Amino acid sequence: MGLLREIEPSLQNVPVYLLSEAEWPSNDNSLDCLAYTGPFLDVAMSDYLLERGRWLGEGFATVLFLDRINCGMENLLGVLLHELAHWSLFAPRISRFDDAYVYSDLTRRLIAEANNERKLVELSLPPWEDHGLDFVRNGVHLWHRATAICPEIKPFHLSYSGPYYDCGEHVWPALMKDELRDLRDVPIRSIREHVLPNKLLPFWECLTAWWHPIAAIK
Ligand SMILES: [Zn+2]
């Protein structure tokens, strides 16, 4: 956790919850990923964390499927930074719930409804789904920041591009060279408020031009 805050100082006052697969009560076996985070995962886990004296308030929570992650610091850090890139794009919470039980129950229902809904719209989702341009951009920033502390980490350890685009992770940093330097100290959640580097959008549009959404099945 200290390492994450060293890489991304804007996490200094943000609680970080690293959860194991056994701690996560989901029965969704369809997830074949190395880790999982979600917009309300912290709050959904708040009862559990409260009971164990680990709850410090809303923050970044992720479930790690440790059995699936290869050994080595770079692999684990890469997975964590991938999830952090997701978290960095979650919408800020606009209202507060004092009662964590009410909130987490609400969250459970929302997730269940979203899962039902999802089956209907699956075909209209692009293959990169939650890994759009802002995600890739933040992933590249996190990788770049991490190299100062863990020089062994390579872009592919974060898997921010290869599984979703016909383009390996190593291509992107060159397109963002100036921005990586200029926005080095900008909190990761604020990167998208800055104008995109010149070549980034046209490049992303070229990569994704082949895809056309199929209308949702009603
Ligand atoms: Zn992801």
Q: How far is the CA of 46 from the centre of ligand 1 (A)?
A: 22
Note the pLDDT of residue 66: 83
| 2 confidence band (pLDDT: 50, 70, 90) | confident
With a pLDDT cut of 90, the percent of the chain lying above it is 62
Q: How far is the CA of 75 from the centre of ligand 1 (A)?
A: 14
Higher pLDDT, 73 or 167: 167
Q: How far is the CA of 112 from the centre of ligand 1 (A)?
A: 20
Note the pLDDT of residue 121: 54
Mean pLDDT of 176-199: 96
Type of residue at 66: L
What pLDDT digit, counting tens, does each position of 22-65 carry?
888 776 666 678 889 988 899 889 999 999 999 999 999 999 98
Mean pLDDT of 67-80: 89
Q: How far is the CA of 156 from the centre of ligand 1 (A)?
A: 13
Note the pLDDT of residue 26: 72
